Amino acid sequence: MNKSNHLILVTGGVRSGKSRWAEALAKQMGGPVAYIATSQVEDHEMAERVRRHKERRPANWTTLEAPWDLAEAIRHLPQDTKTVLIDCLGVFVSNLMLKIAGDSDPTLPKVETEVLGAIWSFLQAQATMPGTVIVVTNETGLGVVPPSALGRAFRDYLGWANQIVAAAADTVYLTVAGIPLLIKGGVASAASEASPSPYETVKQNRASWTVIPGGNQHDK
């Protein structure tokens, strides 16, 4: 890498392997590594997802929780942090949208303004950090149109947030079926010897599958 500050965006659909690829990148980038979690554990399913993610992370990574303010989390990182992994932007946008809208209309202009304002604030904070920031996000606009206003508002806000972060990013990956595709950035900045190979990431994905009798294979 030619500069001390580097922003990487990893996007993809559900179970596309985006989190595993981002984790592999963070391990290769070197530490100390800080993991910023945006999720809130509100039910058994989310608790199980969080548990699986924790099991995959190295014990020496620092974990911070930032469901509503990524900029503040970046500003309060340990001073020796070299690599930051944020997982994920989709949950962050959802948390913020619901907090701002409350019981009101999620399509109100103030909701869009504050959600996207928080994205810009994060990028401003990230630009001051001398290290690598890896952001995991979701591609939500490739399927059917959500039936509810809330769902459509989330799709739109996250789509705009993704565009903003991708424009600022030095490197962008799109993960498809466990394979990361480099869609922005040069060889020197992303596809270097420090990056894990797609083959290794797919092998890790396969190792985590379990066969359910009478059903399909599912990622643990």
Q: What pLDDT, in 10s, does the model give residues 94-146?
A: 999 999 998 889 889 999 999 999 999 999 999 999 999 999 999 988 888 89
- pLDDT > 50? residue 213: no
The more confident residue out of 140 and 167 is 167
Residue tagged active-site, from 6, 44, 53, 218: 53
Give the SS3 label for residue 196: coil
Query: Is the alpha carbon torsion for 12, 15, 20, 21 positive or negative?
Result: negative
pTM over cut 0.85: no
Q: Domains in the chain and their CATH numbers?
A: 6-21+34-125+139-151+166-208 (3.40.50.300)
Check residue 61 and give its pLDDT.
Answer: 94
Q: What pLDDT, in 10s, does the model give residues 19-43?
A: 999 999 999 998 899 999 998 766 6
200 falls in which pLDDT band (50, 70, 90)? low
The yes-or-no answer on residue 53 being catalytic is yes
Q: Give which of 58, 90, 57, 52 is closest to 219, Cα–Cα.
A: 52
Express as a percent the part of the chain with pLDDT over 90: 63
If you average pLDDT over residues 160-168, what whole number do you get? Answer: 97
